[in-house]
Each structure stands twice: as structure tokens, then as C-alpha cells.
Amino acid sequence: MSKSLVLMRDVICIYHPEFRVSRDLRAYGMKHPDIFNVERLVEESLAAVGPYRFIDGDHADFSDGTDSKTASIRVNPARAGGNSFLGEISGVETAGGGRKAGALRCTVYNPHKDSLKFYFLPKSMWSRHITIHPSSGVGKVMYSYHKPYDHIVKFHGYECGSFEELARAK
């Protein structure tokens, strides 16, 4: 499977207002998930479930100041034969130093299980863990997934049990 297909299957076809009501659109989305801007459709799905509006601002996607981020856990281990797999939430800070305004609503694709993990990261948490890319100057939050425990250590305590919980988190 792919990140786009799992996002389409587990989020967009269920929660997006237009996909939810159209069997034809759901079927087309499942057949061709890579032709859609799934990140944008996840943002619209979050706004459909959560108590805020989608505004697509420079430093926030939603009217409550939060931002949606999709990410993936890498397929290859950090060290050959290891059980840790890296990932990153990119674009949390611009090359000019502008940061996202508030909490991050993160939807993380797990290729080891073809499933999604959901995290609500308050700004006070994620802003302490920014790594600046040396050539682009863009900030990201790096993380490590421990496969035997199905766990991202850095995000412990911030996991949401469902997409609905992520969308409604404060």
C-alpha cells in the first residue's frame, strides 16, 4: 500500500464531506489516490470533524491556530537490522524563522502496518524539538518509531486513539 491510499481509505473516504456522500468519488479515490492532494483533503476532513474552520493560513491551517501535518515512518531501519525507524514532521519552521502558530494535528503513516497513528502536539512540546535542515534552512521535528512496541517515543503521551479524537483535541 501507500501513504496516499491509506489516508484515502482511513480518513478521506470516511470523514471528508464530499467523499462521505459520494460512492463514485470514494471508488475513484480508492482506485487513484495518488492523483489527489491527500494532505489538503486530510485538512478539510479535520475541519469537517473539529470545532474550527479550515483557513489555510501561512502559519495555521485552522481558525483555532492549529496546523495539520501528515508524515511517514521510514521503511528502512535507522541501523541495519535494527528495530528503530526514523521519520520527520517537516515544515514546522520556515527558512526565515517563521514557525507554525500553535499545536500540530499530526497524521503519521506507518508502512510497517499499513495504518495511521494520530498525535496532537502542543506547540510547547514540538517547538523544543526543531531540527533545521542545513541547506534549506527549513525546520522539522525528527522522531523514531520502535517497531516491536509500535511506539514513537518522542510523542509518548500525545497519541490520539482515533481521527475524531485528533480532530477534536484542544
Tens digits of residue pLDDT in 147-162 = 999 999 999 999 999 9
Residue 148 is predicted with a pLDDT of: 96
Q: What's the rounded mean pLDDT across residues 104-113? A: 98
Domain count, the chain: 1
Instruction: Indicate the SS3 state at residue 163.
Output: helix
Tens digits of residue pLDDT in 32-58 = 999 999 999 999 999 999 999 999 998
Residue 96 is predicted with a pLDDT of: 87
CATH number, position 40: 3.40.210
Residue 1 is predicted with a pLDDT of: 80
Residue 58 is predicted with a pLDDT of: 86
Tens digits of residue pLDDT in 69-96 = 999 999 999 999 999 999 999 999 998 8
Selection from 120, 135, 116, 125 nearest residue 72 by Cα: 116
pLDDT averaged over the chain? Answer: 96
> Whole-model pTM?
0.95
Residue ranges making up the domain that contains 72: 3-168
Tens digits of residue pLDDT in 126-144 = 999 999 999 999 999 999 9
> For residue 97, what pLDDT band results from cuts at 50, 70 and 90?
confident
Residue 95 is predicted with a pLDDT of: 85
Stretch (H or E) spanning 47 = helix 38-49
d(CA 137, CA 55) in angstroms, rounded, equals 26
